[in-house]
Structure 1
Amino acid sequence: MQTAVDDERIIALQEVDLEWAGKLHTFFSERGYAVVFAQYGKQMNGYMGVMMAWPTKTFEALDVEICRLSDTAPKRVWPKSDSGPLARFGYLTYQGLTEILGCRPPEMEADAEGGEWKLAQGRMNEAIFVRLRPRGTSCDFCAATYHMPCLFGTTEKVRAVNIHSQLLLNRLKQFASPDDKKGFQDAPVALMGDFNIKPGTSSYNLIESGGSVSSVSKQGSRDEVLGLEQLPIVEFPDGLKSAYKDFHGQEPLFTNYALSGMSKEAFVDTLDYIWFSPGRLKVVACQQLPKDKETANGPFPNAEEPSDHLPLHATLRLSERNTA
């Protein structure tokens, strides 16, 4: 991280627990960085959250927003609370039953219509949005970070992730939009994070399309974006691009190489991305990640790599606003 600070980079971190949050605040403060930390986790994960930091001598902060994404949706989209049927596992949670059995219970589809909305509503994940201006210029841009809920498997879970993806895109687009009261013009965006989505999935395609539900439906994933039309849709008309894919021609082989206590085989796949709005932002450099597992010396964390996620580095060039 010291190298990134020396290069005066904007830094976005996910899964930062309280113990590390204090240490990181000190680290960044001593190096002339402003820090925003948004926590949402529970005791079991150290009340973790997301963090964004930027060098104050390089960038002026014009606006900052922290929000729990599920709070940004219209209340009418959430299912009404009722006693409903019995819980799937009685008094036990999914995690509790996993600990008792020593293995994961079988995946189950939704018990009733709207299960994905209940699942999405219950996720506390928060996003950070920052509008920055390079000092000595009049060009603004918006940077954001998010840690997507980790939900794999059933259609219900995929839909819940897509709900959060759409809410994230909607909020980011609104944050980057013109605001006469604040004197803001429309700004390009860079979105960084652990998205817990794989390339080629409906969630990936939804973000890449800039929030176009119809586009994802045409790609054969209609069932997984079903119901998103209930949300106000604010699209990025030109979509968003993955910095790594844009620069290298394809996504990395993996960004996550982890072995959990209950798994016999390591999980190896791409889950992390730096997205940007094309046009006034251009990728001019992007550090390449390992091309094969053998040379990566995984799984992580280990003595060489302190996280189970590899860091992504990209340099984006901001062009002047087109006045033509």
Structure 2
Amino acid sequence: MSVHVVSYNLLVPILAEQPEYFYKCHPKYIDRNYRLRLIKSELQQEITQHNNTIICLQELCRTTVPLLKKFFHPHNYYLIHECYGEEFNDYMGVGIAIPNWMKPTSVKVITVGDEIRARLSERRADSCAIWSIFRQRSRDKSLHAASDPWDNAMKKKNILIFIRVMIHGIPLCIGTYHMPCLYRNPDVMMIHASMVKDLVLDLAKGQNMILAGDYNMKPTDSYYRAITERGYAYGHLPKSRMYEVHYQSDRNRALRSAYAEKNGTEPRFTTFSSTPNNPDFCATLDYIFFNGRLAVDTVLPLPNHLTSKSYPDATHPSDHLMIAATFQFV
């Protein structure tokens, strides 16, 4: 018995088409209709060539959701989705597409920032510190809040979709997440990475579990290691000046990565683009994590070298590569 899991960051059309943003791309290749045709072709291939295919999507948006629902319908697939973005990114969100027969026994849509907020309480100041704190907050409340990683982390709206399905009588939990892109604030990234890892393990309750998505972290980052290494010594969460934090990451629990498990290393890259702020950015940011009695059978081969100046290009409709893995239940 196997399950095939796909993860794909589709690139929101309104962002792709910003003037001069993907400045090395031919205009034809950032056109939404051109890109959508390629995306649908790639997804169709994964559906038709594999059994029990589940598709995790990031950067869905208000424009693409109805088009993808129309695509999935004749394939007898159902799209579970939630948008959390704003008007400038066409209300970007995430989704999971599953075959109609694979009816979910539970669906959870979780704003991770709310889970973080629930584990915080206002810090009580002693009498000697009250006046200095009052003066600091009076001078610049917004600066005070912005400098606290826990305050920043709880304000992010990114959503985790987590479902439980039955595959021919065998339960499987599957989730997808698009982590905040805050390279300059690694403390916030560590908080979200740790929280999502612990959340999915708690929700799975020991059952087989797969978590796929765009995590905006490289394999060398501390928050990647906090997810994948038990007892990672440098995976401590930051302190807060504003709040009492009632959460500690469980460093005795970790997830495995499908590509690293199968190939001994993560892919050379899963995203490549040139934008004004990040020219020639090439890195691995997308992962399929798992836990439980699952064995990685195969992974979708990915390129080892670049063949264009930037994605999207003639054959890559997003700035991210589609990744996929087939798991055997053991």
TM-score class, shorter-chain normalisation, is: 0.7 to 0.9
Question: Are the structure 2 counterparts of residues 113 and 152 from structure 1 closer, same or farther at C-alpha, using a change threshold of 3 Å?
Answer: closer
8 Å Cα contact 1:169/1:235 also seen in 2: no
Does 1:15 find its partner at 2:59?
yes
**Gaps in structure 2 of 5+ consecutive residues:** 1-42, 124-133
The TM-score, its normalising length taken from structure 1, stands at 0.77
Tell me the secondary structure at the aligned position of residue 314 of structure 1. strand
**1:220-235 matched pairs, under 5 angstroms:** 220=234, 222=236, 225-227=237-239, 230-233=245-248, 235=250
- Deviation of 1:317 after TM superposition, in Å, equals 0.9
- Equivalent in the alignment of 1:162: 190
1:166 and 1:38 map into 2 onto residues whose CA distance is: 22
- Equivalent in the alignment of 1:134: 167
8 Å Cα contact 2:268/2:284 also seen in 1: yes
Residue of structure 2 aligned with 1:5, choices 41, 47, 50: 47
Tell me the secondary structure at the aligned position of residue 71 of structure 1. helix
Residue of structure 2 aligned with 1:312, choices 311, 318, 323: 323
Residue of structure 2 aligned with 1:46, choices 84, 90, 98: 90
Does 1:26 find its partner at 2:70?
yes
1:5 and 1:303 map into 2 onto residues whose CA distance is: 22
Does 1:188 find its partner at 2:208?
yes
**Gaps in structure 1 of 5+ consecutive residues:** 89-110, 178-185, 320-324
Question: Are the structure 2 counterparts of residues 84 and 150 from structure 1 closer, same or farther at C-alpha, using a change threshold of 3 Å?
Answer: farther
8 Å Cα contact 2:273/2:310 also seen in 1: yes
How many positions carry a matched residue from both structures? 271
1:140 and 1:127 map into 2 onto residues whose CA distance is: 19
Higher relative contact order (CA 8 A, sep 6+): 2
- Equivalent in the alignment of 2:33: none
Does 1:207 find its partner at 2:262?
no
Question: Are the structure 2 counterparts of residues 200 and 83 from structure 1 closer, same or farther at C-alpha, using a change threshold of 3 Å?
Answer: same
Question: Are the structure 2 counterparts of residues 231 and 15 from structure 1 closer, same or farther at C-alpha, using a change threshold of 3 Å?
Answer: farther
1:311 and 1:84 map into 2 onto residues whose CA distance is: 48
Identity of aligned residues (%): 30
- Equivalent in the alignment of 1:144: 175
1:45 and 1:117 map into 2 onto residues whose CA distance is: 25
- Equivalent in the alignment of 1:85: 140
Moved more, 66-75 or 232-241: 232-241
Does 1:248 find its partner at 2:263?
yes
- Equivalent in the alignment of 1:96: none
- Equivalent in the alignment of 1:322: none
- Deviation of 1:30 after TM superposition, in Å, equals 2.2
- Deviation of 1:73 after TM superposition, in Å, equals 2.7
Does 1:291 find its partner at 2:304?
yes
2:98 and 2:81 map into 1 onto residues whose CA distance is: 12
More strand by share: 2
8 Å Cα contact 1:74/1:231 also seen in 2: no
2:57 and 2:225 map into 1 onto residues whose CA distance is: 23
- Deviation of 1:226 after TM superposition, in Å, equals 2.7
Does 1:271 find its partner at 2:291?
no
Q: Aligned partner of 1:259: which letter?
A: S
- Deviation of 1:47 after TM superposition, in Å, equals 0.3
Q: Aligned partner of 1:253: which letter?
A: R
The TM-score, its normalising length taken from structure 2, stands at 0.75
Q: Aligned partner of 1:85: which letter?
A: D
Tell me the secondary structure at the aligned position of residue 306 of structure 1. coil
Question: Are the structure 2 counterparts of residues 235 and 87 from structure 1 closer, same or farther at C-alpha, using a change threshold of 3 Å?
Answer: closer
2:251 and 2:45 map into 1 onto residues whose CA distance is: 33
- Deviation of 1:78 after TM superposition, in Å, equals 5.8
Question: Are the structure 2 counterparts of residues 122 and 249 from structure 1 closer, same or farther at C-alpha, using a change threshold of 3 Å?
Answer: same
- Equivalent in the alignment of 2:200: 172
8 Å Cα contact 2:56/2:176 also seen in 1: yes
2:183 and 2:90 map into 1 onto residues whose CA distance is: 22
Q: Aligned partner of 2:106: which letter?
A: D
8 Å Cα contact 1:35/1:51 also seen in 2: yes
Tell me the secondary structure at the aligned position of residue 50 of structure 1. strand
Q: Deviations over 1:30-89 (max 9, x none)?
A: 2111211111001111100001011123x231111001011113535266896661656x
- Deviation of 1:280 after TM superposition, in Å, equals 0.6
1:116 and 1:305 map into 2 onto residues whose CA distance is: 36
Tell me the secondary structure at the aligned position of residue 287 of structure 2. strand
Tell me the secondary structure at the aligned position of residue 313 of structure 1. strand
Q: Aligned partner of 1:4: which letter?
A: E
Tell me the secondary structure at the aligned position of residue 66 of structure 2. helix
Moved more, 28-37 or 266-275: 28-37
Tell me the secondary structure at the aligned position of residue 288 of structure 1. coil
1:46 and 1:230 map into 2 onto residues whose CA distance is: 34
